[in-house]
Structure 1
């Protein structure tokens, strides 16, 4: 595995997929091979399929934070060959969500006092028990929750739900806690090197090109 592993992270509606695609496009245009892997892989893994059922509210009962964390980690475990193959054949692999997403979201669903321990437990599950590679850089797209909510409503229809908002997106309190968890991870350097990139400047949304250019410069640094 030789490629640089870049994780684009953030709450729902932060623009992760758009940013990941634009970063890869800029890198490829500059002569560096790059590809995007998006998680969860709803149609490609057992874990991803079950997560689609969970987020689409089609499971017979709710999943505990640890149970949900195992499903997200399983999706990546089943994708380990895809990750290794992408890293072996590209200079940069851009993840649209990766391990930190699991940590931020599941820790936001339990007791606040347990959040730090749960995030460490998930990190150990994915990087130690499942031996998945930690990212070389995680970029947190910092987007206010109210702005992100409006952007979610503009998303195209997803494969796993017919609703405008999935179970996580519909929970405004969850999104606030997720944002706090990402800030904690970035400040503490959990999983390695972090950078925080605001998606709002002067009260206006920054363009995907502008955001991606800032991130590409970090990779070159």
Structure 2
């Protein structure tokens, strides 16, 4: 069974570029590594529906619970794809996993108590009811808000929207709550989580440098 490594963070944290750099770094060590990016907008019903939500095209407001089911459905529909990759690789790198669902949907609730309840429910939904394999290690990319917004502006056009900022990215308060939720998840499970800074001094660190730091801390044999 492949080692499952999830790269997490708020929008604009650099998850995509770091995930790709990680795959390159692992392959340079002779390991068979593959990348899975969630949501899979063009490959699953859940992914397509998520794209409609984020693009603002959904005809009605999507509750945190309903959105959580869509994100979980995207991974459920991807289960066979992930299993096939796991059979042929040593390490699977995930650009977002279950913690992303937990951090974002909890950030949309109205109280700390409701946020905690929703996060527990999402974890149970994905890992128990849907039987998805949780990551062996989760990396939170700690990126300041102002840097993250700059990274979002540099993104290539996404498949689901032509806008610079999607519905979640445009909400600064939501993004700050997402960051708080990620830090809370990492503090609650230090055996699974590691926090990695993406900025040093006055500027962002190179993705390859971040990837090397992450790889060095993995318990791979």
What TM-score, normalized to structure 2? 0.97
- Structure 1 window deviating more from structure 2 (34-43 vs 202-211): it is 202-211
Distance 2:217 2:85 in 1: 21
Q: Tell me how far 1:202 sits from its aligned partner.
A: 1.4
Residue 31 (structure 1) aligns with: 30
What's 1:56 paired with?
55
**Following the alignment from structure 1 to structure 2, what is the Cα–Cα distance between the partners of residues 75 and 61?**
20
User: How far does the alpha carbon of each residue in 1:88-142 deviate from its partner, in whole angstroms, 9 at most, with x for none?
Assistant: 1100000001110000000000113211111111000000000000100000000
| 1:122 alignment partner in structure 2 | 122
Whole-angstrom distance in 1 between the partners of 2:3 and 2:117: 28
In structure 2, what is the equivalent of residue 78 of structure 1? Answer: 77
- Alignment partners' CA distance in 1, 2:189 and 2:111: 19
Q: Distance in 2 between matches of 1:117 and 1:147?
A: 31
Other-structure match for 1:202: 201
Name the residue aligned to 2:99. 100
Query: Is 1:13 equivalent to 2:1 in the alignment?
Result: no
**Number of positions where the alignment pairs a residue of Structure 1 with one of Structure 2:** 219
Counterparts of 1:25 and 1:62, CA distance in 2: 40
Q: Report the aligned-residue RMSD.
A: 1.0
- Alpha-carbon distance in structure 1 between the residues aligned to 2:111 and 2:22: 34
Equivalent in the alignment of 1:110: 109
Q: Which residues in structure 2 correspond to 1:178-193 (within 5 Å)?
A: 178-189=178-189, 193=192
Q: Runs ≥4 in structure 1, deviation > 4 angstroms?
A: none
CA distance in 2, matches of 1:73, 1:203: 37
Q: Is residue 150 of structure 1 aligned with residue 139 of structure 2?
A: no
**For 1:166 and 1:131, how far apart are their aligned partners in 2?**
30
Superposed displacement of residue 62, structure 1: 1.1
Instruction: For residue 169 of structure 1, give the secondary structure of its aligned residue in structure 2.
Output: coil
- Asked if residue 136 in structure 1 is aligned to residue 104 in structure 2, the reply is no
- 1:220 Cα shift? 4.1
**Partner-residue secondary structure (3-state), 2:57:** coil
Can you list the C-alpha shifts for 1:57-81, whole angstroms capped at 9, x where unaligned? 0010110000000000000000000
Whole-angstrom distance in 2 between the partners of 1:218 and 1:84: 25
2:93 equivalent to 1:91: no
Distance 1:122 1:97 in 2: 14
Note the residue ranges of structure 2 that are not aligned, 5 or more in a row: none
Q: TM-score, normalised by structure 1?
A: 0.97
5+ residue gaps, structure 1, are none
Query: Helix, strand or coil for the counterpart of 1:219?
Result: coil
Aligned to 2:175: 175
Structure-2 separation of matches of 1:98 and 1:117: 19
